[in-house]
Amino acid sequence: MNRRTFLTSAAALAAMPLPAALRGKRMGIVIHSYWKRWQGKYSSLKSPPFENALDVLDHVRSLGVGALQIMVNSWTGELAGKVRDTRESYGIKLEGSITLPKNESDVDRFEKELRLGKEAGATIFRSATGGRRYELFSSLEDFKHFKANAFKSMQLAEPIARRQRVRIGIENHKDFQAAELAELLGRLSSPHIGACVDTGNSMALLEDPMHVVETLAPFAVTTHIKDMAVQETPTGFLLSEVPLGEGVLDLPRMFALFEKHNPQIDYHLEMITRDPLDIPCLKPGYWATFPDKTGTDLARMLTLVRERKAAKLPKVTGLGIEEALDYEEANIVKCLHYAGNRLGLDKVVVRNEQGQEEK
């Protein structure tokens, strides 16, 4: 970017009015934003590990977040009660993250975890049915088998969610394309099973991120908010979460769609600080489960990659533990400030361990 282009862009940004506050909402956070620090994967004296939800609540309170979305598996009734009391005293909402029942014999485990999450204050839960489609399945038949099992899990979960009076959002987790997930949710047709809309994941499936939000926002019960940056490779492209505002997503427009369809929805930051993901969309194996995907989808995505390529993507390989933890925290804080300054959410006051406000 040359000086003239920079000044023009800066002037245009300055001229844009800030969005109106979204009814006092504060940005929440997904535990995956602390992928390094969660459960001691990385830790140090300066940044001790998060062993459970209580440790996370103590920390995110200092960031001024409005909600925490975290796994509820392995909880006890005692822990659920402590989480409830702690989050209420901090003024932080809770959403659970849960695994759907795999079969009939798994239903009791599922209902127990729902009850524990609800005891702690969660009435909304996030779930996912799979992972990176292009890595997990080598044939269309394999994917069809997975899809049938995923729908069966949703069917098993629905009456339990209805009985417990909770809502579960199924994430577009690089497994289902937006239309595929919408079709399953429409077929199930339950107010208790909807979508956890991730704003960036489906770029790995060559989907236009705005189209994904347009398709899934009518089903949305919760969100994973992220921005994405890209770089071209000989076999496709690299895809990476980056601090909000530094990527290619039109987040204000996405927020407007979420608000239109569900004014009660909350926003949860998922800023995963890691090496970029390799999307090998020019390799034949990538296409094994996409019989109907067109060359137009590929051309559109590669055009975006070439026109909006990032000069640099986040990378943690080679960083020391302390440096990686600092990098993770700095990216989260950047996102929270951007959400308050540019996306219309309540501005957060981030404080250090001494209680001093950080800019």
Single-letter amino acid code for the residue at 357: E
Please give the Cα distance from 103 to 112 (Å, whole number). Answer: 15
Per residue in 129-153, pLDDT (tens digit) is 999 999 999 999 999 999 999 999 9
* End-to-end CA, the chain: 27
Quote the pLDDT of residue 44: 78
Element (H, E) at 227: strand 227-233
> E strands of the chain, at which residues?
28-30, 67-71, 93-97, 124-127, 167-171, 193-198, 220-224, 227-233, 236-242, 268-269, 277-279, 350-351, 357-358
Quote the pLDDT of residue 73: 95
Quote the pLDDT of residue 354: 52
Quote the pLDDT of residue 2: 39
SS3 8: helix
Residue with tokens 């047709």: 189
97 φ/ψ sector (left φ>0, alpha ψ -120 to 50, else beta): beta
Structure tokens at 2: 């040359």
Helix, strand, coil percent values for the chain (each to nearest 5): 45, 15, 40
Distance set, CA 108 to CA 104, 138, 197, 212, 217 (Å): 8, 33, 27, 33, 30
Closest CA to 151 of 130, 166, 131: 130
Helix crossing, 251-261 with 209-216: angle to 10°?
10
Q: Can you identify the CATH homologous superfamily of domain 21-229+241-275+314-348?
A: Divalent-metal-dependent TIM barrel enzymes (3.20.20.150)
Quote the pLDDT of residue 352: 61
Per-residue pLDDT of the chain (359 residues; tens, 9 = 90+): 333 333 334 444 444 444 566 778 999 999 999 988 887 777 777 888 899 999 999 999 999 999 999 999 999 999 999 999 999 999 999 999 999 999 999 999 999 999 999 999 999 999 999 999 999 999 999 999 999 999 999 999 999 999 999 999 999 999 999 999 999 999 999 999 999 999 999 999 999 999 999 999 999 999 999 999 999 999 999 999 999 999 999 999 999 999 999 999 999 999 999 999 999 999 999 999 999 999 999 999 999 999 999 999 999 999 999 999 999 999 999 999 999 999 989 887 766 655 556 65
Quote the pLDDT of residue 43: 73
Quote the pLDDT of residue 257: 95
For the chain, domain boundaries = 21-229+241-275+314-348
